[in-house]
Amino acid sequence: MAASEAAVMSSSSLKTDTFPVLETAGTVAAMAATPPARAAAAVVAAAARTGSEARVSKAALATKLLSLSGVFAVHKPKGPTSAELLNRLKEKLLAEAGMPSPEWTKRKKQTLKIGHGGTLDSAARGVLVVGIGSGTKMLTSMLSGSKRYIAIGELGKATDTLDSTGKVTEEKPYDKITQEDIEGILQKFTGNIMQVPPLLALLSFPFSFSHLTSYSALKKDGQRLSTLMKRGEVVEAKPARPVTVYSISLQKFQPPFFTLDVECGGGFYIRSLVSDIGKELSSCANVLELTRTKQGPFTLEEHALPEDKWTIDDIAQSLEHCSSLFPAELALKKSKPEKSNEQVLSCEYITLNEPKGEDDVIKTC
């Protein structure tokens, strides 16, 4: 095996080689003691060596990227959708590794698999769990785990999306609502309860339930239901379904705003909860801000990588750190590298058969 190929395949060559800098410095020193022609030749040779080393370094990073396997978490800010954030992460990793490149298309074709489990609305921020390599197969387990949110609700206003991004559809007084009133009704929303989500998937058969005018990430025939609604198409809603709320506590009340700390199971809608609380108080309410502080074993403070840490090395370290968060059988599954003859990059959209909550979608690329 040639020396350059050995450097590509060896795990000890994964970090950027610093030798070209030293060689270039040595070449500059040598130029002072050589005729102009020899000095020029030395410069050309040094540049060639530097370019070769750079290609080897990129190839090594590509090898390391394609070997990553497991589940980690990133910090999603307000603004982008979960899918847009995943694409941004993917593009940063591919750019760092110089992929796709002619060198890799000539070699055995590889597939970079990366996906997220648990969609956050564009207006929400917090923990977004990401799977890479065989870790994408573990994302389903993320949907069944508990989630924790900090939600700021606003009393007195209802919107068509149940949050601050929508159009105001109703306004009611809230001035007589007290902190004790809110704390007194929270028990009604704790435990195994029934909840009507903000716009579920279409029924295959009609029900006599009123149409909902709020939005979710669910789709029909490949189109977001929110898009259908915006076009004026009628969308039927399913009835209330069982969900689990482990705990709710009122953290702050400064009318018209109230802050909740909620821990819940999969398929639960914070927007619906806040709206229902407003109705229970003989008023109305919508979500002003939403932050997911925990998803499964991942927490925002300890595990979620900010965007400046979206590098191959940082993600590799995070995967190692997070491997202890999973049961042994899952850890064994994710440790096995995947072999594939697919294209350099393939994308697919996976939605669970049973309609889930706003955060219960898996996307893999």
Strands 304-305 and 70-76 come out as: parallel
- Token digits of residue 364: 């893999």
Which residue in this structure is represented by tokens 């149940």?
A: 162
Active site residue 276: no
Cα Rg of the chain, angstroms:
26
Sign of CA dihedral 137, 140, 142, 148: positive
- Which residue among 121, 163, 276, 360 is the active-site one? 121
Query: Residue 28 corresponds to which tokens in the numbers above?
Result: 């500059």
8 A C-beta contact, residue 53 and residue 60: no
Helix (H) or strand (E) holding 294: strand 285-295
Q: What percent helix, strand, coil does the chain show, rounded to 5?
A: 40, 25, 35
> Residue 203 gets which letter from DSSP?
P
What is the full DSSP assignment across 46-87? HHHHHHHHHHHHHHHHHHHHHH--EEEEEEEPSSS-HHHHHH
Tokens in use for 67?
């070997």
- Burial of 113-145, coded b for 16+ CB within 10 Å and e otherwise, reads bbbbbbbbbbbbbbbbbbbbbbbbbbbebbbeb
State the Cα–Cα distance between residues 153 and 189, nearest whole angstrom: 15
Q: How far apart are alpha carbons 357 and 118 in whole angstroms?
A: 9
Active site residues: 121
